[in-house]
Structure 1
């Protein structure tokens, strides 16, 4: 808006001064065009800004048309000023048009073809004006203007290339910060963030969904027997099968190692259990890990329903993890719905695994599963 305001004030001021200094029909017409087009552009930009803040469709096409029309108005003013024979008027108009090129380039380089069109429309007519003026010295404009237009247009495209490269780098950086590099699934931070956003909604107390905590059965054996490369290929295939089973709107994530978590839009515990069973069947099918080698693994799943099992992301994950512990303890390759009993059993087991009070040392919270 600041660049737009500067350009509008400049062209309006120059057109007004010129119309007062030389009140001819062509120059007064230029002033009328400037006032009309600039007013329309301001209105459209204000409407677009308000709609953008409301995440609604903006009148972009109309804004582009008015931008080109404004550039054409500047070009018309240059021609009319040069044709008037008044060199004070011509100097003002040409200086104004020349200064606009920098603003056009800076403001619109994200759309280089639009920027190039506006530059041609605003400065290109100076060629016609120089010929109409009948002054031999002005013929040098025929050499300068094409070079100027070419250089500024190339600058727009180069700035646009730099902008796109920067945007891509930022997008890739953001993607890698939120996704697991091996499987492409969301990582722990992204899933926890999504859970918190969903639970923070005003109607979250009526929003029922499930958190499924998955842990592969027998994955360590694959790593030990066939190597980590085979284990990585297996994890990639597991991620693909999880994506295939989950529905649109569900969010799968890899928490690290052979642990996966999914946030699903199922509405009831029965639907969540049915989804978990489909995951168990899909993940439990045979895998080809190279050289014709087929293997089988299983998966255990703990399920926590929201908001029944907690209104915080950490509570839901803890409840699903506790249910997973029960499923693993029961032999694996099954699902378990989180309950108070499941959470209690897990706490008791963890307390039983603690060392005596006089020999308590810090140790990682995560536990290795097979």
Structure 2
């Protein structure tokens, strides 16, 4: 499932999500997704705070509590709008969508903290119990929902908790000030919990990424394997079905590889395959995909390209391999036959049909004398 959010753009908001800078970009995006998932959780949080605010207004219809109720409703509606308009709709690529969503999450936490402080100061035991219970439960929800970004989550907890603790200094019951003494243990415990949750979540995402990589990449060369390239081609066909771009597939087969492998041993053959895959990866464009689909056969997928560009790449691959074999006497006779097929939206076909055309073109190149390319 694609990430429906992006990294923050402003330095202020970026600071709150810098807990995992050393990780892969995709993993960091997954860790950031907490505030943008589960609309049900946002609804539940909104109903909870609305209930507390409403009870406060009913019991004490003062300007403070009326303002708290209005502010709570406005902030919740804004957060819901941001989630629906930019994130859930897939329009989060708008530059400040993520920043605004995270910023209003902080404002929401501060609003809860200030309102809870007002309930403490009111000296109403019903409000005090209701507001404190609500704040503590919200902190637990914050820790669970935003465990991927502990710095942001802990800031929300501080904004919720500190005003409540300080408010005990402005009411007459001295025993309530025990909450201030309790604060260091409570906050330390939540910080440890957040970091443990984050560590476990990070390990899970890393394991998932490693498992996916192992399933879609060739263990010897590190390039994509058959499954990996088939997945990419399937995705490309789906995205191009209603588009107007063409793409090319190159089927590569090493000529003379079996002879070299038999004469020099499998270790040498493996080095040839690794060197060839690295050479092809250097030659192709940044957005192209290279795969080893078995033995000495490779595939290059070139999105948004045509026969002319594909033929230039094929020619570079052939010449690069000639340079490689020229510097290694043991690899004399090694070459590459390349079959190229161009696919347009009007003749997409299936992945199997496209690969079959490229394969036939590759055998035509072999029949034409090897170490050349032909179109299918």
Give the aligned length. 335
Structure 1 residue 238 displacement after superposition: 0.4
Residues 199 and 125 (structure 1 numbering): CA distance in 2 closer, same or farther, change over 3 Å? Answer: closer
- The runs of 5 or more residues in structure 1 that have no matched partner are 339-370
Match of residue 202 from structure 1: 241
Match of 1:34 among 72, 93, 101: 72
Q: In structure 2, do the counterparts of structure 1 residues 209 and 116 end up closer, same or farther at CA, with 3 Å as the change threshold?
A: closer
Pair 1:181-2:219 in alignment: yes
Over the residues paired in the alignment, what is the CA RMSD in angstroms? Answer: 2.7
> Which residue in the other structure is 1:350 paired with?
none
Q: Distance in 2 between matches of 1:272 and 1:64?
A: 45
Following superposition, the deviation at residue 35 of structure 1 comes to: 2.4
Query: Which of 43, 55, 58 is 1:20 aligned to?
Result: 58
CA distance in 1, matches of 2:93, 2:84: 14
Checking the alignment, whether the CA contact within 8 Å between 2:92 and 2:98 is kept in structure 1 is no
Q: What corresponds to 1:301 in structure 2? A: 338
In 2, Cα distance between the equivalents of 1:266 and 1:135? 72
After superposition, the Cα gap between the structure-2 partners of 1:264 and 1:103, relative to the gap in structure 1 and judged at 3 Å, is closer
- Rate the CA distance shift 1:335–1:84 in 2: closer, same or farther, 3 A: closer
**Paired position in structure 2 for 1:150:** 188
Structure 2 Cα separation of the partners of residues 77 and 192 of structure 1: 56
| Structure with bigger gyration radius | 1
Secondary structure in 2 matching 1:285: helix
- The DSSP-based 3-state class of the residue aligned with 2:224 is coil
User: Once the two structures are superposed, what CA deviation does each residue of 1:272-313 show, in whole Å capped at 9, x if it has no partner?
Assistant: 444322211111223599xx9753321122233335997333
Asked if structure 2 preserves the Cα contact closer than 8 Å seen for 1:309 and 1:315, the reply is no
Q: Is the 8 A contact 1:304 1:337 kept in 2?
A: yes
- How far residue 55 of structure 1 moved from its aligned partner, in angstroms, is 6.4
SS in 2 for 1:263: strand
Kept in 1: contact 2:260–2:330 (CA 8 A): no
1:62 counterpart = 2:62: no
Q: 1:59 to 1:305 in 2, by over 3 A?
A: closer
Q: How far did 1:125 drift? A: 1.6
1:130–1:138 CA contact under 8 A, matched in 2:
yes
Contact 1:214–1:299, Cα closer than 8 Å, also in 2: yes
* Structure 2 counterpart of 1:78, from 116, 121, 144: 116
CA distance in 1, matches of 2:61, 2:92: 45
- Give 2:148's aligned residue: 110
Going from structure 1 to structure 2, the CA distance change for 1:309 and 1:258 (only over 3 Å counts) comes to farther
> So what's the TM-score if we normalise by structure 2?
0.79
Q: Which residue of 1 aligns with 2:273?
A: 235
Indicate yes or no: 2:179 matched with 1:141. Answer: yes
Report which structure shows greater RCO (CA 8 Å, sep ≥6): 2
- Structure 2: 5+ residue stretches without partners: 1-38
Q: CA deviation at 1:4?
A: 1.5
Q: Secondary structure at the match of 2:323?
A: coil
